[in-house]
Copies of this chain bind each other. A is one copy, B any other.
């Protein structure tokens, strides 16, 4: 295991500190470093908060800023943030319009966010949107079913934009729940990753193997298959995604090819090219695209493909200005 780190214990904290310093013009640590929040909070809007284990950077801290999240909490590597962290983020960002929590569907995250909500209830109006966009981790029948993976970025971008424009809490909750039914992701890994504090590789792959349907915590996937040409891999992922999502003719979509940490941009663009051809052959209009390393699993070599079917209004939310470390446009 060769990683740029000093100790397993300090890895996440040192990385987040570097992040905050690199983007100090618009993000800042919350009290006791329990969360990372916007430097300038905007009163009069619903606070949008997310969080999860470290090891998925730039998610979620890279999505904090104008037009997206108000705050994000980071746990240790692959470990949920504590209820105390989440409560702190709520208290620092709720300006009276309530808080929307965006939570990926993992047992630890669900439990800790639920505990935080119970403890903050009465003082804060809180709604939760659960993200569960990953097709394949559902099939292995573990825990709560589908996990939240790269589709989380899409949900956070659209709800962040809607909140910024003044959408109230209940409407944001409905929008988020509706979006969740139209966003699907699937990933493939070319290697397992070593978790620093256990020094264990999550799964081991031979030189000619790949793991299809992986999650972002190094869970093994749905099946181990012979490694093959990129077009065949992309075709398999896209076929599964399209088969799992209720599709209308002429549907408009966002196509997102996400790197899992160790895959360079050139390979992601090559995969995007094949995914785009596939979708267009199926009559899906790709109206927006995103290609890059946004939702990672440490230094995993691999990628995921996300398809989000969006309405015209939702496409406008995608285009709404955003100033974060990972997404930035006006």
Q: Which residues of A contact B (CB under 8 A)?
A: 2-7, 11-12, 14-19, 21-23, 54-55, 57-58, 62, 190-191, 207, 210, 227, 229-231, 233, 261-274, 276, 289-291, 293, 296, 298-299, 301, 303, 323, 328-330
Contacts and interface: CB of A to CB of B under 8 A. Distances in A.
Given A4-B263, A4-B267, A22-B269, 20 more contacts: A3-B267, A4-B230, A4-B303, A7-B229, A11-B266, A15-B266, A15-B267, A18-B272, A18-B291, A19-B291, A21-B273, A21-B289, A57-B264, A57-B265, A266-B296, A267-B299, A293-B293, A323-B329, A328-B328, A330-B330
B272 A21 contact: yes
B21 A264 contact: no
A235 to B, nearest CB: 11
Contacts of A14: 270, 273-274
A291 B15 CA distance: 12
A116 to B, nearest CB: 24
A72 to B, nearest CB: 14
Nearest to A262: B262
7 closest cross-chain pairs (CB), A and B: A18-B273, A261-B264, A18-B269, A4-B267, A57-B266, A4-B230, A15-B270
A190 B57 contact: no
A16 B267 CA distance: 10
B270 A21 contact: no
Q: How many copies does the complex hold?
A: 2
A252 to B, nearest CB: 15
A156 to B, nearest CB: 16
B210 A266 contact: no
A14 B261 CA distance: 21
A160 to B, nearest CB: 17
Contacts of A62: 265
Given A5-B229, A264-B296, A17 B303 contact: no
Given A266-B57, A269-B16, A328-B328, A227 B2 contact: yes
A298 B22 contact: no
A19 B3 CA distance: 29
A156 B59 CA distance: 28
In this complex, which of A262, A264, A272 has the most chain B Cβ atoms within 10 angstroms of its Cβ? A264
18 contacts: A2-B207, A4-B303, A6-B270, A14-B274, A15-B267, A18-B273, A21-B272, A22-B272, A22-B291, A23-B289, A54-B266, A262-B264, A262-B301, A265-B293, A266-B298, A328-B328, A328-B329, A330-B330
